[in-house]
Structure 1
């Protein structure tokens, strides 16, 4: 009995020592990372770093983190950020963000509010700390832009994981429910004010893996394969699939094949979002009718979204310059 007690005390002491050493290393590492950012375009500030959770967790709390990049104009700040790791599997990270955050973009600021905002990441055990998979779950999400628009969603689920059959590729999945926005969604009487469902299943080709060397390797997007895109908005259903790659100048090249059920309700949306002018709506409707009549169902419109020579078009409709990968 005495020997067992000694063993328990020794193991407990070793475990406590492991936690103390690990928590101190975590605190020093995070503190050092914030301090090191002053030497580059990224600046990072915080008002306090603590580690708790003894004996089975490392619970890291950063008070008032603030990040900003002078080159890109991107920034982020929040009252706090928390990261949790179990002591026996530190490669599995869980993060909790506050109900209010702010993202700064070059031309606007986004105020983000939510009832719940959690994320997780699982790394491949090893020295490279390669990302294996990650997930984000947000409930009652609301975005409000300083540019005057807003958006809300009942739920947002985002997942990213390594593709098993292609090096440096990531599978990205997104699902949002009950989406609303001031950007023209309620401008048509034929559709409800909220989009029921937005779903994306895609494959992203990257130039380098997502690991601790990203600062040096700077992974860039090489191509996008859209396996499934789906929008359910009342009785209008839009589905999509296709692929896009960057041209030599970085502009998108490729084609996304769209299929729109009850497509006539799409034209008022194009007008409300500014993609076409009100005076063009009748001409566009007639052109789309001709395309729809070529199929089996006149209420279903097959429509290609093409990116070519620096421009993008929706069927016969020119939409403007194509987006850039880089």
Structure 2
């Protein structure tokens, strides 16, 4: 019995020593990381790095972290960020954010993001690069608000899964679901959405496979974000009132972020979409009539005049629906 007790004491002592060394290494690594960012010209501040989680978890809380990258103009500030990982394998990482607003800034403006029960579970490949194998983001109610301009968007929940696939290197599958998605007062006002239009989407979800120019790893924060080179949209579904839209397609993206490919779109009650565009001033009277006649002809080919099945052709930086030009294609660049 004495030997058993002695063995348990020795085991506890060894484990405690291991935890202390690992916790010290984590603390020192984070301190050096912030120092390295400051040496590169970033604003990289943190008030303190208290450790916790003994004996089975390595945990650290970044108290009042502030990061600002001068190269991209992107900045983030929060009251805290908690990082946890099992002491036996630190490649399983959980990030937890506070419930109070996270301040965001970019060349496009300033905003605040508020998340209830926001967390991200990461699975990392072994190695110092910290390459991402998978990530699962879940939140309760969340909202994005533009600084001084009102709400941009919100939802009751958000689920985002990102998983490295067995295909080409730097290829990932994304599954995204936002329950109770609600466009904010700011976009509703700018688009002049009618007051009687539903506040929330009945459904908003997407699944796609994306290939990037390199893997997602620690360089995505330290240097620059990996850029998409191809998108295979398996499904995009949005239901907003009587308007129902589904889309699928494939795009390739060049080094300038210009997409090329085709996207098939099915829209039920598509005239409601024209009503929204008309209310927003995007379709002056004569143009509205021309567009409605053209789309009505396309819808009639399917046998159901209320359902529009159309292929969007993305070529040379422009989007067209059959013979109908729609305008320039958005550039797909991650800042």
TM-score w.r.t. length of structure 1: 0.92
- Secondary structure at 2:58 match in 1: strand
The 1:252–1:236 alpha-carbon spacing in structure 2 relative to 1, beyond 3 Å, is same
Q: What is the CA RMSD across the aligned residues, in angstroms?
A: 2.2
Distance 2:248 2:218 in 1: 33
- How far did residue 59 of structure 1 move? 1.3
CA deviation digits over 1:264-320, x for unaligned, max 9?
A: 111122234565346633332222111101112111101223321122234555443
Pairs within 5 Å for 1:3-152 = 3-99=3-99, 100-146=101-147, 147-152=149-154
* Partner-residue secondary structure (3-state), 1:48: coil
Do the aligned residues in 2 keep the contact of 1:178 with 1:197 (CA within 8 Å)?
yes
Q: Does the CA contact (< 8 Å) of 2:192 and 2:280 recur in 1?
A: no
Specify which structure has the higher proportion of strand: 1
User: 2:274 aligned with 1:267, yes or no?
Assistant: yes
Superposed CA deviations along residues 117-156 of structure 1, whole A, max 9, x for unmatched, are 1111011234543211001111111111135552111111
1:296 aligns with 2:303: yes
Deviation at 1:45, TM superposition (A): 1.1
Alpha-carbon contact 1:310-1:322 (below 8 Å) kept: yes
Q: Deviations over 1:229-267 (max 9, x none)?
A: 111122321111001112464311111110011111111
Cα distance, 1:70–1:277 mapped onto 2, change above 3 Å: farther
- Unaligned stretches of 5+ residues in structure 2: none
| Structure 1 consecutive aligned stretches of length 4 or more whose deviation exceeds 4 Å | 212-218, 272-275, 314-317
TM-score normalised by L of structure 2: 0.90
**Structure 1 residue aligned with 2:157:** 155
1:34 deviation in Å? 0.7
Distance change >3 Å, CA 156–CA 193, structure 1 → 2: same
Q: Which runs of 5+ in 1 are unaligned?
A: none
Name the CA distance, whole Å, in 2 between partners of 1:93 and 1:5. 33
3-state DSSP class of the match of 1:54?
coil
1:7-35 deviations in Å (ceiling 9; x for gaps)? 00100000000110011100000011011
Larger mean CA deviation between 31-40 and 118-127 belongs to 118-127
**Cα deviations by residue, 1:186-218 (Å, 9 ceiling, x for unpaired):** 823674221111111001101222234655796
Q: Distance in 2 between matches of 1:255 and 1:6?
A: 70
Are 1:171 and 2:177 counterparts? no
Describe the shift of the 1:134–1:318 C-alpha distance in structure 2 as closer, same or farther (beyond 3 A).
same
Match of 1:239 among 236, 246, 264: 246
Secondary structure, counterpart of 2:62 in structure 1: strand
Q: Which residue of 2 aligns with 1:254?
A: 261
| Secondary structure of the corresponding residue to residue 49 of structure 1 | coil
Deviates more, 1:143-152 or 1:297-306: 143-152
Distance 1:212-1:116 versus aligned 2 partners, 3 A rule: closer
Q: Does the 8 Å contact 1:91/1:123 carry over to 2?
A: yes
The 1:291/1:91 distance shift into structure 2, 3 A limit, reads same
Partner of 1:206: 212
Q: Figure out how many residues of one structure are paired with residues of the other and give that number.
A: 326
- Secondary structure class of the residue paired with 1:298: coil
The residue that corresponds to 2:200 in the other structure is 194
- Name the CA distance, whole Å, in 2 between partners of 1:95 and 1:216: 21
1:123 and 1:300 map into 2 onto residues whose CA distance is 44
Question: Secondary structure of 1:230's partner?
Answer: strand
Contact 1:41 1:71 in 2 (8 A): no
1:286 aligned partner: 293
